[in-house]
Amino acid sequence: MNKPKRLPVTLHQLRVFEAVARQLSFTRAADELHLSQPTVSVQVRELAAAVGLPLFEQLGRRIRLTAAGTELLGTARAMFDTWDRFQMRVADLQGLRRGALRVSAVTTATYFVPRLLGPFSEAYPGIELSLEVARRDDIVQRLIEGRDDLYIMGVPPTDLEIHELPILDNPLVVVAPRSHRLAGRKGIPLKALEAQPFLVREQGSGTRMASERYFQRHGFKPRVRMALGSNEAIKQAVAGGFGLAVLSLHALGMDATDGGLVLLDVEGFPIRRKWYAVYPRSRPLSIVATTFLQYLRGQTGGLPNVDALLADWRRGAANRRGSPKRGNPVDRKHPAA
């Protein structure tokens, strides 16, 4: 029986092909891989020549995988997983002298994850670290594809077989511009916010999902003015007077006097949540990832204490009360003696 022809294919070509197949775009794949688009095109063309069949077909301005491309994509991902497992075993044999750790995190987690990676890198200088930051939907997709060792998020998916380990408190708070008429009031009922415009994150955001669940449980429907794709955009819009927002306390920063924002003391807030380190049940952790996970659970040095940070922001709100002013709705209810 004739042996199948051995294809002159490189791991690099397969990684380039996988990126194009996942993105369904040569341009986006080139951006992701930090390569020029012509280089990506050449790699895919040479790979198709080695296979002997086209891997993509053109549909107007879009591309899609051919049958051969679909088969190759599954094969390539299986090869990547096998290679990753081999690297894990090599790292285990080497101990923590060398190895790699790939972490991906939702955008809000970038306010604290780099502060955790820094000390770990200093303790284990032979470990090569990589951090991918993306929206929650993209992080979940990376989890499904098994592209990283650990995934940091606030709302782990409920439809996947995963381990989820709490690593840090993640309180959600209501923020307003410092000049807002409710700033400094105590025990604001949720119902008092019915007429207030709200700024929210995009669909799929963990912060938005958690706040919507809370509002739904309490029969409150916020008047959404606009959806924005980042915490920074929301903070700037709130400071500019566009409306209120529910954000993670971590997104506000450590300086309670900066940014033109103030916490509102709304009944039921802060919503007490956690940050989680997530990984698939089907994939064993390497010794590097296991060590980092233990580090995450027991080491938060360098991070602000959440309760202290919350107290600082609350003091900032209290300072807004100042002396009574004529016409203030609170003063009309509680006139000065």
**Strand-pair category, 162-169 with 150-153:** unpaired
Contacts of 176 (CB under 8 A, 6+ apart): 182, 183, 238, 244, 261, 262, 263, 264
Check: CB of residue 148 under 8 Å from CB of residue 113.
no
Residue 220: exposure state from Cβ atoms within 10 A (0-12, 13-18, ≥19): middle
Tens of each residue's pLDDT in the chain, 337 residues: 455 556 688 888 999 999 999 889 999 899 888 889 999 999 999 999 999 999 999 888 889 999 999 999 999 988 887 887 777 677 666 666 667 889 999 988 888 888 888 888 888 888 888 999 998 999 999 999 888 999 999 889 988 999 998 888 888 999 999 888 888 888 899 999 988 999 998 888 888 999 999 999 999 999 899 999 888 899 999 989 999 999 988 888 755 555 688 889 898 888 888 889 999 988 888 888 888 888 877 655 445 565 666 666 666 555 554 433 433 333 333 333 2
Check: CB of residue 163 under 8 Å from CB of residue 119.
no
Q: Whole-prediction pTM value?
A: 0.65
Check: CB of residue 164 under 8 Å from CB of residue 156.
yes
Helix 113-123 vs helix 287-298: angle between axes, to the nearest 10 degrees?
120
